[in-house]
């Protein structure tokens, strides 16, 4: 006899479809690691479960022969995330970094011995202006040191750069080597990437204090931005990819467009295979920063069957916790 959803048997079948996995309250204990915490959150709800899935997808994807791309936006380095990125590089948990110029400038700034300072957003900014103190929400920095550093970068560029166009990868490797020379052993993003030969791209390098510093040179520095596009597209086509977006902005879009570039060039690509993003932007305003991975599928940027998760959370909360969990789970494992 044919059953309909309105029948008892039909309703039971529908319920079983949706009510198959119960939630499981998380338990904590004094010996719990970040990895343990996130495994416990897999049975919970809301952004706790999303955070747990980010660690799960990231750590399991590394069992495959993939290239892991990270897009780093916002002011993550002034916020204290510099050594998180260094750890990700040294642990070989990321392979290519695309960053804003601001993060890289602040990284150079800290690597050679300067500091950002704990402040407060509840301050008279006119007083800070008089003192030449720049504010990044609740973080302060001495503007005079920025001005001096700009001059140093310009002088270095004059002495170092040839009269030819540079991809941002080439330029940033040279800058990373200079950071290492001036660091007194302090590790930074640029210096570690140069040491480990991890490529860094900065598609909006002019939109940063690096660009401002180079404007002080008597001759113009030429960047081969199309070379960046060509290089990254070839890299994305060479093996399956995982993308991790810390915030959105230009780094996210630049990594996303590698797949679109390959589609235009008639290369056989399927979109990024794994995708994790830590964002706070909403998708309904149409901006790329808040763009969902589902929307990205329509462009061919993300594979239709990709394993993906979006964590709606401040990256200064999510990134350290997930990184700690992934580092723990990958301990002793060597990537192919």
- Active site residue ranges: 301
End-to-end CA distance of the chain: 55
- Name, in order, each residue with C-beta under 8 angstroms of 176's C-beta and a sequence gap of 6 or more: 188, 190, 191, 192, 193, 194, 195, 200
CB atoms within 10 A of CB 288: 16
How many other CB atoms are found less than 10 A from the CB of residue 285?
Answer: 8
Give the distance from CA 134 to its chain's centroid.
24
> Six-digit token pair at 58?
């990231």
Q: What is the DSSP letter of 178?
A: H
Helix ranges (H only) for the chain are: 8-18, 34-41, 46-61, 82-90, 101-111, 125-131, 143-160, 168-181, 189-196, 209-214, 225-238, 249-264, 293-299, 315-330
**Two tokens at 23?**
């939630």
Of the candidates 20, 24, 74, 17, which has an alpha carbon nearest to the alpha carbon of residue 45?
A: 24
Give dist(CA 326, CA 60) in Å, integer.
9
Degrees to nearest 5, angle at CA 240 with 104 and 290: 55
Q: How far is residue 51's CA from residue 318's CA, in Å, rounded to a whole number?
A: 7
DSSP string, 231-272: HHHHHHHHS-EEEEEES-HHHHHHHHHHHHHHHHTT-----E
Assigned token pair, 266? 């008639």
């Amino acid at each position: 006899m044919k059953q309909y959803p309105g029948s008892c048997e039909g309703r039971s079948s529908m319920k079983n479809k949706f009510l198959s996995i119960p939630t499981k309250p998380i338990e904590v204990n004094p010996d719990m690691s970040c990895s343990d915490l996130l495994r416990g959150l897999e049975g919970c709800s809301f952004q706790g479960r999303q955070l747990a899935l980010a660690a799960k997808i990231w750590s399991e994807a590394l069992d495959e022969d993939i290239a892991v791309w990270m897009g780093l936006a916002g002011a993550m380095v002034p916020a204290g995330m510099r050594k998180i990125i260094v750890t990700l590089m040294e642990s070989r948990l990321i392979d290519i970094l695309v960053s804003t110029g601001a993060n890289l400038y602040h990284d150079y700034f800290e690597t050679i011995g300067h500091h950002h300072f704990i402040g407060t957003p509840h301050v008279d900014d006119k007083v800070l202006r008089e003192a030449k103190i720049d504010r990044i929400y609740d973080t302060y920095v001495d503007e005079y040191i920025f001005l001096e550093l700009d001059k140093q970068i310009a002088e270095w560029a004059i002495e170092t750069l040839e009269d030819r166009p540079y991809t941002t990868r080439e330029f940033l490797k040279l800058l990373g080597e200079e950071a290492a020379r001036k660091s007194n052993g302090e590790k930074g993003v640029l210096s570690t990437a140069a040491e480990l030969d991890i490529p860094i791209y900065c598609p909006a390098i002019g939109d940063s204090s690096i660009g401002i510093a180079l404007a002080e040179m008597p001759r113009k520095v030429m960047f081969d931005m199309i070379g960046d596009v060509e290089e990254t597209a070839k890299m994305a086509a060479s093996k399956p990819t995982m993308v991790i977006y810390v915030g959105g902005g230009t780094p996210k879009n630049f990594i996303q467009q590698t797949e679109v570039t390959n589609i235009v060039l008639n290369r056989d690509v399927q979109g990024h295979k794994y995708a994790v993003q830590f964002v706070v932007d909403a998708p309904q305003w149409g901006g790329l920063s808040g763009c969902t991975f589902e929307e990205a599928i329509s462009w061919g940027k993300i594979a239709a069957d990709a394993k993906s998760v979006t964590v709606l959370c401040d990256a200064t909360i999510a990134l350290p916790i997930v990184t700690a969990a992934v580092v723990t789970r990958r301990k002793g494992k060597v990537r192919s």
